[in-house]
Amino acid sequence: MTKPLTPPKKIAIMGHPDIPEALKVAKNVRQFLETRGVEAQAGSLYDEGFRDTIQKNEFDLLIALGGDGTMLRAGHLCAPVDVPLLGINVGHFGFLVELNRKEWRNILPRLLTGDFRYEERMMLKAHCVRDGEEETISDVINDVVVARGQYVRPIEVEAFLDGSFITGYVADGLIAATPTGSTAYALAAGGPILPPEIRNILLMPVAPHLSIDRAVVLSEGASVFIRVKTKHEAVVSVDGKEPVHLSSGDGVRIIAHEKSLKMVRFEDPGYFYRHLTMHMEQNPLFGKRINGHSD
């Protein structure tokens, strides 16, 4: 029998401000926890004062309400300070979230008795290299994408492993993904699905032309450098954030992060494959009106 984990005593609850229902549910979750003796605080994902309390490690757990976009934003907030993350889906898509908006009242009591487990998700570090200088270090939960910019023309991309040249691509771009990111952009580009508990780096070209079109799976200890060669615009984006422009010869260096994103799970490890099948059979965006916000 698995020994119960220590229940969290102080919980932060963050809703995506562009999803009205997320903020409403956040308040309901806070009231639910407070009636059971748990100290809880609810607010917006973009409230700077609230975010500071997370980064100061003042909470034992962060509950995020939204979709996978919200989970990524919350993960970037809590992973560096080792605060576990639990997601409640009130957004469109939910590969990363654990609970839906209809079941959280029935499942959350298990959190308070220690009847849950932690799932460690591998992260990466991305070092942007421009004009020969390393400028930016970014935490990566999903993926690093080096791609063409506004011009609809492929770029040349070179990939190096531990300082040695692997191969070159003529393509729209190259994705370096974690196992978590294997079900995001890399999956859309035709890449393999990696289970969340493994620790490998996935390289996946996007629309390669007369180039290797297969994914490459690298070990956790690999150091990858992606360099662009182009006469027009290229960019690098981490987890869908604002892109950074790259000139020919610039690139990004990618290594495994010493930190992991710790996620709360109530289901057994087989949940990943059950949920994957469900998502692949029916995209929840079909037939729904998109309101213009990212969840």
Q: Which domains does the chain have, with CATH numbers?
A: 10-116+266-281 (3.40.50.10330), 123-259 (2.60.200.30)
pTM score = 0.90
Q: Return the pLDDT at 101.
A: 87
Q: Return the pLDDT at 232.
A: 87
Q: How does 225-248 read in b/e, with b if 16+ C-beta sit within 10 Å?
A: bbbbebeebbbbbbbeeebbebee
Lookup result for tokens 């421009």:
130
Q: Return the pLDDT at 294.
A: 46
Nearest to 84 by CA among 138, 182, 8: 8
Residue 68 designated active-site: yes
Tokens of 148: 């063409």
Q: From the candidates 18, 68, 239, 250, which is the catalytic residue?
A: 68
Q: Return the pLDDT at 122.
A: 98
Q: Return the pLDDT at 74.
A: 97
Q: Return the pLDDT at 279.
A: 64
Q: Return the pLDDT at 289.
A: 41
Which segments in the chain show pLDDT lower than 70?
Answer: 1-2, 93, 277-295
Q: Return the pLDDT at 194.
A: 95
Q: Return the pLDDT at 38.
A: 97
The Cα–Cα gap between 10 and 45 comes to: 17
Q: Return the pLDDT at 35.
A: 97
